[in-house]
Amino acid sequence: MKEKGNSVTIFNARLTGSFFLLAFLAYGIGRQLFESTDDPEKYLGASLIIANSVMVLFIGILLRKTLKRYNPGVGNIYLFTRIFEALALSTILLNGNISDDLGYFLAMLVMGIGSIPMCLTLLRHKITPSWLAIWGMIGYAVFAFGFLMELFGKAWSSYFLAPGGLWEATFAIWLIIHGSKNVKLKSTNP
């Protein structure tokens, strides 16, 4: 990341945004194919789930490079969150059962909770537009609540996916379009 005066550039923003979008596709398609009884489809599904985990890991690594400039603790929390998510989402390959997948529920819960400080950092340091960072904090809190309820036997996660999922897609598009450009920060001095 480069800083010039009072502007900021998000490290590898286009690549990070692309990983956000591609990870959605890889996991969504991979999960569907993995349920197949046809071995080639099942293997392709497993490969896509692994690809998702690799992309999730790189999202954490790439965003950490920007976040650590403003708050090293938040950068590390976010990276840990994405490492946990990558590993937990891969557990589906070990147990072979997609329905009631505890690894998926835990991955989404930890990712939701661990992404809130990231969004707060985006807001505090004006790395993204305020509306985007606030939406992220609210979206991830709602998202995490839905998956917390799954752990208590309440099938609520599907009702709470939209705010966080739509935020990730919007953030990804914002990163691809605007994130690699210098974002002018408001001066705090009169």
Tell me the average pLDDT across 13-32.
94
CA distances in angstroms from 186 to 66, 113, 170, 176, listed in the order given: 18, 29, 23, 22
* Domain positions in the chain: 11-179
Dist. CA 102–CA 124, nearest whole Å: 34
The answer to whether 146 touches 105, Cβ cutoff 8 Å, is no
Give pTM, 2 decimals.
0.85
Dist. CA 87–CA 69, nearest whole Å: 26
Tell me the average pLDDT across 4-12.
64
In degrees and rounded to multiples of 5, residue 91 shows phi and psi of -65, -20
Show the DSSP H helices in 96-181 as ranges: 102-124, 130-151, 157-174
Residues 107-150: tens digit of each pLDDT: 999 999 999 999 999 999 999 999 999 999 999 999 999 999 99
